[in-house]
Structure 1
Amino acid sequence: MLNQTIPLLHVLSELDIPGLIELSSSVEWDYNAEELRTVLAIGTVYGHKNEANQLVSCAAVIPYEDQLATIGMVIVHSSCRGLGLGRSLMKACMEAVPLDSAIMLIATKEGQPLYESMGFVTVDTIHKSIRKNVSPLTNEPASEFVDIVPMKESDLTAAIELDALAVGSKRSAFLYTRMQQAKTCLVIKDQEGTIVGFGFAVQGPINLVAGPIVARNSAEATSLLCKLTEGHEGHIRIDVPDGQEDFLRFLAQNEFEKASQPPVMIARANSLPPRSGHYFGIGAQIFG
């Protein structure tokens, strides 16, 4: 990849999944084919290809239903940096979003200056935590008045509504697709049988990724996390929005180590949409 002619920008498809996996591996990101199919199913992925038809960059934009979109998976191969490909990708993604919609992303340290130059401002942070211990998580039961049970497809409507309050926008297509992808899907029901929280766990190439997790309080979120990871003997990753201090203390007590604390940035708005405070684990950084 030494040719420094400017590669051409393309809209990518499932045929590009092998190239996307190779590109993400070059920056030590653990995308697999199943995760990339989810991204392609609900969003648009752009990428530059060189004269040998090799994929040398990518970025994805995912629209949600209430004037909100996310951008993620912004990668430029090391051999092609300095050619303006990152800016070209961001421009394409932003132009795909209606002007009246806010755009959110979770930035890397390397990408933050570019995003700031394109109008993004930092509004929050994410606590990325990973646990390598294979022993079970330990916590007290959330309450004798709640039940944690497998999610049925008929439960998805209630989960979408809870997620919308937690995130600030409906994400119907994302949650439907994520449910098909997930290793485990659970809901919390109160004593009347009303769904009051939910959580997914998705197996990646390296980590079991817990999220999204939506719950009324930290106790219920910890119980969900314990159930989602029950019997899992590998690494566990969870990315927690700012403000969930009790939940973060639980993670520290259970040997989760903070891997990074990336900023949440937004453009075309002054702040994130109103949120209920019930968001304890994001689905993945690309989904916000």
Structure 2
Amino acid sequence: MKSTTHRLHSLSVADIPDLMALSDSVGWDYDEAEIRTILSIGKVFGHKDDGDRVVSSAAIIAYEDRLATVGMVIVHESCRGRGYGRDLMQACLAAVPGDTTIMLIATADGEPLYKSLGFATVERIHKFVRPGGKLAAPPLPPTATYQIVPMSEADFASVALLDQQALGSRREHFLQARMRQAATCLVAKTESGTIVGYGFAIQGPVNLIAGPIVALDADMAIQLLGKLTENHPGQVRIDVPDGQPAFLAFLEQNGFQKASHPPVMVANADRLPPRAGTYFAIGAQIYG
């Protein structure tokens, strides 16, 4: 690549092949379906070289209640040291109103840049991978007042409300897009039909991604995870927020291996929006 300064662009679906190649260059596994979802609900920026090839990327997704999340921040190794990461982040920050709380899950390489832009660590994410083999969730207790069943369109409003309480912000556009992408969507439903939990599983090129998972307690989260993964013999990934020790203990006792423990950082605020304590697994690093 030439040692010239490349221009920053707003990217589109036409750039998906380049974005997939860029992701692969750093060992990440963004596939076409994932990037289409990101483009459908957010904005993606990137530098292009003289051959119109994408050499950097960053995405920002604005949710409905003054909360946004940043992810897919990548600079090709041949273009590092030119300030492209800062350019990308400044474009993302400028894409949302100034009173928006912006969150991201940082890599070790990106953390110094984010700190310099005013981001501060507020919690951490526990990233786990289960190499293979079916997960055996405990049987549903006889005293349980709910069943785990496939999600229907009629359940969406209740799922969106549970998700809002768990995350601290409405994100119906994300949920609708993620449902279309998901391999499995389940809800925990009482006999009266009340939705009290939900979980999605998305098949990526390497991992079955379990999340989001929202539940009243760790036992319900375990039931949802078991049902989401029960027919999957391959690798499973799940990213768990701080504050769920019983759920984390179950993962560690059932073949999940901790891959990393990255910081959750925010700007324009000193904390995440208030949460209900029911968030057991995030959708993916980019979605917060």
| TM superposition score category, shorter chain reference | over 0.9
Alignment correspondent of 1:152: 152
Q: Is the 1:104–1:265 Cα contact (8 Å) retained in structure 2?
A: yes
Q: Which amino acid aligns with 2:92?
A: C
Write out aligned runs for 1:235-250 (5 A). Answer: 235-250=235-250
Q: Which amino acid aligns with 1:193?
A: G
Q: Which amino acid aligns with 2:181?
A: Q
Alignment correspondent of 1:10: 9
CA deviations on 1:51-80 (whole Å, 9 max, x unpaired) are 111110000000001110001000000000
Name the stretch that deviates more: 59-68 or 135-144. Answer: 135-144
Alignment correspondent of 2:29: 30
Whole-angstrom CA distance in 1 between matches of 2:175 and 2:11: 22
Alignment correspondent of 1:63: 62
Alignment correspondent of 1:127: 126
CA RMSD of aligned residues (A): 0.8
- What percent of counterpart residues are identical? 58
Unaligned runs of 5+ in 2: none
Whole-angstrom CA distance in 2 between matches of 1:144 and 1:106: 35
Provide TM-score, normalisation by structure 1: 0.98
Deviation, 1:137, is 2.5
Name the stretch that deviates more: 103-112 or 184-193. Answer: 184-193
Q: Is the 1:69–1:104 Cα contact (8 Å) retained in structure 2?
A: yes
Alignment correspondent of 1:265: 265
Alignment correspondent of 2:215: 215
Write out aligned runs for 1:1-288 (5 A). Answer: 1=1, 3-141=2-140, 143-288=143-288
CA deviations on 1:155-208 (whole Å, 9 max, x unpaired) are 111111100000010000000000000000000012322000100000000000
SS at match of 2:177: helix
SS at match of 2:157: helix
Whole-angstrom CA distance in 2 between matches of 1:114 and 1:139: 44
Unaligned runs of 5+ in 1: none
SS at match of 2:212: strand
CA deviations on 1:2-39 (whole Å, 9 max, x unpaired) are x1111110100001000000000011101100000000
Q: Which amino acid aligns with 1:228?
A: L
CA deviations on 1:124-166 (whole Å, 9 max, x unpaired) are 1000000013133332425532111100111111111100000
Q: Is the 2:164–2:170 Cα contact (8 Å) retained in structure 1?
A: yes
Q: Is the 2:134–2:229 Cα contact (8 Å) retained in structure 1?
A: no
CA deviations on 1:217-275 (whole Å, 9 max, x unpaired) are 00000000000001101100000000100000100111000000010000000100000
Q: Is the 2:134–2:230 Cα contact (8 Å) retained in structure 1?
A: no
- Kindly tell me the number of residue pairs found equivalent between the two proteins: 287
Whole-angstrom CA distance in 1 between matches of 2:155 and 2:220: 18
Q: Which amino acid aligns with 1:241?
A: P
Whole-angstrom CA distance in 1 between matches of 2:109 and 2:135: 35
Whole-angstrom CA distance in 1 between matches of 2:201 and 2:95: 30
Whole-angstrom CA distance in 2 between matches of 1:7 and 1:282: 34
Q: Which amino acid aligns with 2:200?
A: F
Q: Is the 1:56–1:76 Cα contact (8 Å) retained in structure 2?
A: yes
Whole-angstrom CA distance in 2 between matches of 1:248 and 1:98: 36
Runs of 4+ in 1 over 3 A off after TM superposition: none
SS at match of 2:89: helix
Whole-angstrom CA distance in 1 between matches of 2:214 and 2:70: 22
